[in-house]
A and B are shown apart, each in its own frame.
Chain A
Amino acid sequence: MQALTEQEYQDWLTAKGLNVPFYERYADWVVDVFRGDFGFSFEKNTEVGPLLAERLIATGILGFWVFALMIPIALITGVVAGMKEGSFQDRAVSFISVFTTSIPEIATAIFLTVIFALGLGWLPTKSAMTQGFDWTQLVLPVMTLVLYDFGYVARMTRASMAEVMTSQYIRTAILKGIPYSRVIMRHALRNALIAPFTVIVLQLNWLLSGVVVVEVFFQYNGFGKMLLDAALFGDIYVIQAGTLAAVFVAVFSQIISDVGYTLLNPRIRFS
């Protein structure tokens, strides 16, 4: 649009219905959204609805694998660390999780790419899926996100586990001579997992915004990249629809977290 004159610009705004007052545009947009019409993307020349759905599914696939790997790793390491506060495994897990979490995703992504893609040549450097869906292209973005995120959940789990392990009923159980493994499995774990559960669900929300860096770096055509492209281009309907989706996920995950917490924690349930 380098050659657009002021008049042409105004004409364009009129043609796209963008020069009416913002509250009118907002009202129109809300009505349209309820009808399932998310508007039109100026940059991509396509309807926003299908675009949004496609990108959310792509990010959903990424997110699924991040969760599928991150949750067991984080819970296991967290529980192992929290079983005995101050032990070697506790220190080791704490160190690793603080270390990986404190490196920004962009740095992790670069390190992993240099090592596994450019150095060893085991994995592709980019995840644009140009030839259709390809599992190997998911590995690096998933690894990056898992490395970044697992430490947080692991430390939450560790703290919760450590607290449970110092409680009276665990001490009583151990003193009663119940085997240690049974104390952990039957008595400690269930209570220790309540706190991490809420944290994990809230990671859903984090993932949707945190995924931007990773998607852009690996050129993965997901929700995050769509949102960034739209923001840079000023693609207003895409931004609106993307924000709506993000808010929906945020509220939804909060509800799941609250309801789940109530179900898991009898003290809340019965009060």
Chain B
Amino acid sequence: MTKSDKPRRLHPKVREAKDLMDRGRMDRREFVRVAALLGVSATAAYAMGGVTPSFAQQGDLPFPQDDSNAKEGGILRVAMQVQKMEDPATYSWVEMSNQTRHMLEHLTFTTPDNVTQPMLAESWEASDDLKTWTFKLRKGVMWHNGDEFTADDVIFNMTRWMDPDVGSSNIGLSTFASMVEEKDGKKQMLPGALEKVDDYTVRLNLSKPVLSVPEDLYNYPTAIVHRSFKPPLSDNPIGTGAYTMTNLKVGERCELKRVTETADGKPFQYWGGKVYLDEIHYYNFDEDNQLTAFASGDVDAIYEFGIEQFELAEALDGEIIEARTAQTLCCRMRVTEKPFDNEKLRQAVIAATDNSVYRDLVFQGRGDIGENHHVSPIHPEYYELPGLKRDVEKAKQLLTEAGYPDGIELTIDVGNTDGPWHQTVTEIMRDQLKDAGITLNINVMPPSKYWEIWDKTPFGATAWTHRPLGTMVLSLGYRSGVPWNETAFASEEFDNALNDAEAVLDTEERREKMKKVEQILQDAAVMVQPIWRPVFTIAAKKVHGYPPHPTQYHQFNKVWLES
């Protein structure tokens, strides 16, 4: 919002939310989040909620405040896997998006404390029924080539995301799922779903109410590329961010440098205020090696270290940053593949496992216990179902009913894509299943090989990253026919229940609605999802403002280095 703007209409749902908060039916932080989603500027939302932001931003910028002690300059060196930068719309790794995040930006920005704020969009307004969303774009945002950022760029990007030939996973997000329809066997954009009102205004017309639109727009494959974009991005990196990629060697390094002038030699003005770092360098280190690379001072910060390295991390001279997350491992069964098309068999697998032990055995008591429905206790709409109980006798009985009275041999594919803890989880599961007469073979494969089969294998352990809302994950992964539906679970009842829940603002009420959603998914017995894992990272003491983020999104705009 610029000062000249008239004070905008307050969305009636904001009043409703405020009322709910005042009556104690919504907590303050949740109120701030909802108000921000409905277009109230974060500063105002925090003020209305009476919450002190842990992540105070300045003016209308989504970034933390300038630090008066901050020093300019320097190169931040980060250990992370360095990957290809092909097409942001089809990114399937957070690392790729981290390489891109300081170059390409999003319409919105979710801060580490889960509040979504305007970024390239200056503000937005939702209709009362949450079906029409109008985004006002920030004026004066410059592309690295000198062009101005306009509605055409947004239209170009969103059209691409919904183009079945691009194959972007964004189509599974509630926002875009409600802008497409099935045609000729492919999901295609509904006519009129996307509307250019003027050069700085874009309107989304959804077929059903969705609250998470702004949050969806910060999902990592939603980075906004220039309207002339053609993959691969690394060949022609044009962005709106303060940095651009100057050197990319996949598997070795990715160097980002502050942009000072446009392609035609004019001075480049970054819209987002001050940034401190001259350069950001990512050096390729596998996850197992990142902490030791940090130990010898090769890098100033790392992407992540695993729980097995925690002791070593504590011995090092740095600041350990831990984030509670909704990241998880789904040991999921594909319901269209034999023998998992047999529901009784799936139920037997679930009955024979005991989710409560994984947390202690794998993460030394850190993290949260999963309940096989992929909604985490840290999600605002989480509904607590009756606890899962292990029942070996029942498992045996189910197995007999399924037609395997003498037990069965199953094989699970494990890719350890987030580290060796995947294998530990399946090993615990193997021991538990044994008691019920199920022999579990563990097929360990290289991470990249696993990603080739993750959505096809009958039984696989797939890692899912954190998303701010439970409904977002469920929409991406369990809605009938979406690209990332790895369980092939298809239930109209579930889709409808999810639609219902998404349309409700009142957190208490939405939580009630989620009861049904969670219950359907849990009863379908499509996966053992035993744990919500914490993530750990570390930064040197000289690095200031290195943000913890539950999705491990790197947001370095206000990071600075002590010389």
Interface, chain A (partner B; CB < 8 A): 1-5, 8, 43-46, 113, 117-118, 123-126, 128, 130, 219, 221, 229, 232-234
Contact = CB atoms under 8 A, between A and B. Distances in A.
Contact of B448 (A44, A46, A126, A234): A234
Interface string B438-456: 0000000011110110110
Contacts of B284: 128, 219
A150 B72 CA distance: 50
B250 A43 contact: yes
B297 A1 contact: no
Nearest to A11: B165
Interface stretch (B285-293, B373-381, B536-544): B285-293
A125 B252 contact: no
Interface string B411-428: 000000000000000000
A233 B448 contact: yes
Contacts of A130: 77, 253, 281, 283, 298-299
Contact of B251 (A4, A44, A126): A44
Contact of B296 (A43, A126, A234): A126
B232 A45 contact: yes
Given A3-B167, A130-B298, 16 more contacts: A2-B451, A2-B454, A45-B250, A118-B295, A124-B297, A125-B292, A125-B298, A126-B293, A128-B252, A128-B285, A130-B299, A219-B284, A232-B446, A232-B448, A232-B449, A234-B449
B7 to A, nearest CB: 42
A211 B483 CA distance: 41
Contacts of B296: 117, 123-126
Interface residues of B, number: 40
Contacts of A43: 84, 250-251
Contacts of B110: none
A3 B484 contact: yes
Interface of B: 77, 84, 86, 90, 92, 167-169, 232, 234, 248-253, 281, 283-286, 289, 292-293, 295-299, 312, 446-449, 451-452, 454-455, 483-484
A143 B253 CA distance: 26
Nearest to B447: A232
B75 to A, nearest CB: 10
A48 to B, nearest CB: 13
Contacts of B234: 45
A39 to B, nearest CB: 16
Contacts of B448: 232-234
Contact of A128 (B90, B283, B295, B452): B283
A54 to B, nearest CB: 10
Contacts of B454: 2
6 contacts: A3-B168, A3-B484, A125-B292, A126-B285, A130-B298, A234-B448
Which of A4, A44, A118, A126 neighbours the largest number of chain B CB atoms within 10 Å of its CB? A126
A46 B253 CA distance: 14
Contacts of B298: 124-126, 128, 130
B252 A3 contact: no
B295 A117 contact: yes
A128 B455 CA distance: 34
B413 to A, nearest CB: 14
B452 A1 contact: yes
A211 to B, nearest CB: 17
Nearest to A126: B293
B419 to A, nearest CB: 16
A229 B251 contact: yes
B79 to A, nearest CB: 9
Contact of A126 (B168, B252, B289, B449): B289
A124 B251 CA distance: 20
A164 to B, nearest CB: 46
B251 A219 contact: no
B90 A3 contact: yes
Nearest to B291: A125
Nearest to B167: A3
A125 B299 CA distance: 12
Given A126-B298, A229-B251, A3 B483 contact: yes
Nearest to A43: B250
Nearest to A113: B292
A113 B250 CA distance: 26
Contact of B84 (A5, A45, A118): A45
A152 to B, nearest CB: 28
Contacts of B312: 118
Nearest to B89: A3
Q: 5 tightest CB-CB pairs across the interface, nearest first?
A: A2-B92, A125-B296, A124-B296, A232-B446, A44-B250
B563 to A, nearest CB: 17
B249 A44 contact: yes
A234 B453 CA distance: 14
Contact of B293 (A1, A8, A118, A128): A128
Nearest to A4: B167
A261 to B, nearest CB: 40
Nearest to A232: B446
Contact of A219 (B168, B232, B285, B451): B285
A44 to B, nearest CB: 4
B92 A3 contact: yes
Contacts of A45: 84, 86, 232, 234, 248, 250
A8 B87 CA distance: 15
Given A44-B251, A130-B283, A1 B449 contact: no
A144 B75 CA distance: 32
Contacts of A1: 90, 92, 451-452
B532 to A, nearest CB: 21
A73 B21 CA distance: 77
A47 B232 CA distance: 15
A236 B310 CA distance: 37
Nearest to B454: A2
Which of A2, A45, A123 neighbours the largest number of chain B CB atoms within 10 Å of its CB? A2
Which of A44, A113, A123 neighbours the largest number of chain B CB atoms within 10 Å of its CB? A44
Contacts of A118: 292, 295, 312
A161 B250 CA distance: 50
Contacts of A124: 296-298
